Amino acid sequence: MSNGKTTLTVRYGAIDDADWQNTNSRGGQEYAYRFDGPNVNDHKGKGRFKSVLGFPPARNPKKDYEVELAGDERFEIDHVDVHYGGNQFTGSKVSKSKAKLDNANSRYQQGFYCIVVKDTSNNDDLIDCDPMISNEPK
């Protein structure tokens, strides 16, 4: 069972809205993405997952989170990268439209996960969608 789930939507071109994150693809094209859904801790459009740890942190259960890609079928999940976070956070592609993030949840830590999305109708251009994931003290 997932401890949190968010939906990722990607669009071609920039969007003038604070809930959307504009970015350039690895090929230099403009895209926008946003994360929505329950359990993203009131960071609307940002996709942040947060776990609040008791003391000592090593006694907290592991957590896992799901990211589902919604919308236009031209986009699919290519892979998942995790930046920082030591060995606390790992990520994997489950399918073209789903990724899983694992949180060891055993120490205070912050990092970023990056859902790398492929635009199959634009030469398989890659778009980095990278919110924060953290383990924080109570």
Domain harbouring 51, CATH code: 2.60.40
For every one of its 138 residues, what pLDDT tens digit does the chain have, with 9 covering 90 and above? 677 788 899 999 999 998 888 999 999 999 999 988 655 455 555 666 666 666 665 667 788 888 999 989 999 999 999 888 778 888 999 999 999 988 887 777 777 788 999 999 999 999 999 865 565 665
CA 118, CA 79: separation in Å to the nearest integer? 9
Counting the structural domains of the chain, the total is: 1
CA distances from 32 to 2, 27, 29, 47 (A): 26, 14, 10, 14
Domain encompassing residue 97? 5-137
With CA atoms as reference, report the closest residue to 24 among 138, 121, 119: 119
Entry pTM:
0.82
